[in-house]
Structure 1
Amino acid sequence: MIKKISIQQLKPGMFIHDINCVWMEHPFLVGALKIKNDKTIEKIAGLGVREVYIDTLKGLDVIDAPTETEVNAEIEHKMLAMVQQVKPITTTSTLSEELKRSREVYGEANKIISNIMHDVRIGKQIEVERIDPVVEKMANSILRNKDALLSLCRIKNKDDYTFLHSVSVGALLISFAHALDFKRDVIKQLGVGGMLHDIGKTKVPNEILNKPGALTEEEFVIMKSHVVHGCSILRKSPGIAQVSFDVASQHHERFDGSGYPLGLKNSEMSVYGQMAAIVDVYDAITADRCYHKGMEPTVAIRKMFEWSKFHFNPKLLRTFIRIVGIYPVGTLVMLESGKIGVVIEQSETDMTRPLVRIIFDAKKNYFIAPKDIDLAKPLGQGGGDRIVNYESSAKWDIDPNKFM
């Protein structure tokens, strides 16, 4: 049985099923392991881990610890109650209309950040004026319909991950800032910061940056140095706003002080750094890497809500979840009727009942003519069904993007 315990309850003889923290922050530890001594526990605690999941069939038990099922039920209940309080975000363009424009913007942004990182590697200075126009276009696209550009950002080529991740973080921060009603100039500065937040990785050796496996402790120290390198590069770059600098310098800090490089805590982090920490983790853990399978967005959102007790600003995370949704646009979902569909729009009244485009009959195992169902409406008015689970696109060999 899988149970959740505090790090103080962990002792030798227990078997960790899940370390329960962002995988990029412990690359030298496997996700599951038998605890043999107190030194291993100290090592895990040193990562900022506060709670872990144990497998009682493979190691010692904690009798009164809650089961994983009980924990998940409580998380979902609390998360739904919290995010429903956040005001919905209006759109002025349909998803299909905006996708045509956002594809062009997305391609342009990827090309620009790729070129900038190449220039920095060979010693050239960042020219912020090259980024500003595309950030303006990204902001306009998100203002019209945030889900178009954000759905494209979920598609990542493993070989170009650093570039694609940078664009995704920029787009997510723009959407985040828009939801918080920030001024236009701050929104753009956050977008620039997102695009450049990993610029320090240009100083990390390629054999470490692109290593197709877990990093050693020594390699992980070098990888973490990208934040310091990034700060140095941005300080020498004219035109970098403090907002953009905060994004790059604080995206690996954590609300409880367990992050790096400075171990900033709570208000020691700027609100922009707190936003960047949320966005960076979400995009990273939902992406496939050559050595790690990304989480489904729905799972990632729930895990981040769980971690928000320690690692993220809970109020900011609430707004972020409202932006991407419990079932983000582009998510494949199974309905109670046995139909499989793609989420194409969030509901303004109930985040568990989005607009879904039905495309497949799981009971009969064949594709059907696409049909849009608004799950927020009652039976007879286009609704009458409900989501029972998210689905893996790989499992069903369905590319959701083809139906959006």
Structure 2
Amino acid sequence: MERYLGKKIKNDLINTYGVTVIPANSILNAEHLELIRKQKINILDIIFAGEEGQAPSSKELAYNVVNVSKDLFESFRTSRKVPLADIRKEVVPVVQEISRQSDIFALFDAIQGKDDYTYQHNIGVGVLSTLIGRWMNMSEAELSVLSLAATLHDIGKLKIPSEILNKPGKLTPDEYELVKKHTILGYEMLKETTGANSHITLTALQHHERNDGRGYPLGLKEEQIDAYAKIVAVADIFHAMSSRRPYHEPVPFHIIVDQMRRGSFGALDPHIVSVFLENIVKRTVGREVILTDGRVGEIVYLNPHDIETPLVKVDDEYIDLSKLNTIKIKEISIE
């Protein structure tokens, strides 16, 4: 970490409760680095002054890697082989680079599925899973496997007719059962692929399993489910809900957070959900938000007992969302 001494930070560094611990434009010294360690701030989340213009934006990286991954995935249709080595070499490093974007909400905007959803989803889930893994303090070796497993989680859909995957209306029961088979198909494809370890194959098979045994395809419970598949399940749901799909518009932020908390998408691993949502919400302090009543405000303080209902300043008025059930955060602005 000492290599960051003397570097100037661009944005405020905030702790778990949304309190600024090091202000923007500070030149990092030894005391700052110790504070970063104690507050458990991920150094990779920090953007340094003068570095923001040295590389393509996350949106540009995402656009380019989606096209690369699309070509690689589509090659399976003719070769019948999963191009795992090429994906590991050409896609995974970019997925990991995007996940280091310091502005989480700009990152979400960059990977949001809009047009070519199937391939944007693969990259989006790869980025979000890597982000979660980093927040869970996984090693670089573990992150590399997680990034690859997440990017490949839906590969079985290559064997599902595209007219069913992109159907604008509700699937028939028979169509839904066919789509569900992508988990088994993906597992079989990867099991026969050189270089795919158990985390990669099991993530494809188990990312729709749930802790209470109500998932598919095998109805597994808790410890029966691969740890990497549990991470990908959280990323999969968040990306799907926040993206434009053939059959729904992006779901408002507060609804996604609330439904993930309440288990509306099945019993996800509670620790992973907590790590993911708390790391997102604590980064909302200082952000401009649109409330469900249409007003625009700024989050100024997080309620430590319920960080999803912060104190919001609207003009000269302070609104405590923990005391108002009728007003929620509809959207968070992208700077």
TM-score by length of 2: 0.72
- The aligned counterpart of 1:156 is 113
AA of the residue aligned to 1:108: N
Count the aligned residue pairs: 289
> Larger C-alpha radius of gyration, 1 or 2?
1
Question: Given the superposition, is the C-alpha separation of residues 335 and 186 from structure 1 closer, same or farther in structure 2, using an over 3 Å criterion?
Answer: same
Determine the structure 1 residue equivalent to 2:212. Answer: 256
Deviations 1:5-38 (A, max 9, x none): xxxxxxxxxxxxxxxxxxxxxxxxxxxxxxxxxx
Which amino acid in the other structure matches residue 233 of structure 1? M
Q: Which residue of 1 aligns with 2:256?
A: 300
- Residue deviations 1:310-344, cap 9 Å, x none? 611111211011233278698842399x862588x
**Shift in CA distance, 87/116, structure 1 to aligned 2, threshold 3 Å:** same
| Paired residues for 1:56-75 under 5 Å | none
For 1:346 and 1:155, how far apart are their aligned partners in 2?
27
Q: Does 1:176 align with 2:176?
A: no
Q: Which has the higher contact order (CA 8 A, sep 6+)?
A: 2
* In structure 1, distance between residues paired with 2:106 and 2:87: 17
| Matched ranges for 1:156-305 at <5 A | 156-158=113-115, 160-305=116-261
Flag the 1:313–1:335 CA change in 2: closer, same or farther, 3 A. closer
**Counterpart of 2:57 in 1: which secondary structure?**
helix
Q: Give the whole-Å Cα distance in 2 for the aligned partners of 1:286 and 1:331.
A: 18
CA shift digits 1:368-401 (9 cap, x unpaired): xxxxxxxxxxx9xxx96766532369xxxxxx44
C-alpha contact (below 8 Å) 1:203/1:226 kept by paired residues: yes
Which residue does 1:97 correspond to in 2? Answer: 52
| Paired position in structure 2 for 1:334 | 291
- Structure 2 contact 254–328 (Cα < 8 Å) conserved: no
Unaligned runs of 5+ in 1: 1-82, 364-378, 394-399
- Percent identity over the alignment is 25
4+ runs deviating over 4 angstroms: 83-90, 326-331, 345-356, 383-388
Paired residue type of 1:263: G
Structure 2 equivalent of residue 10 of structure 1:
none
Q: Secondary structure at the match of 2:215?
A: coil
More divergent stretch after superposition (232-241 vs 165-174): 232-241
Q: CA deviation at 1:107?
A: 2.0
In 2 relative to 1, CA 168–339 (structure 1 residues): closer, same or farther, beyond 3 Å?
Answer: same
- Structure 2 residues without counterparts, runs of 5 or longer: 1-15, 19-38, 322-326
Which residue does the alignment assign to 1:21?
A: none
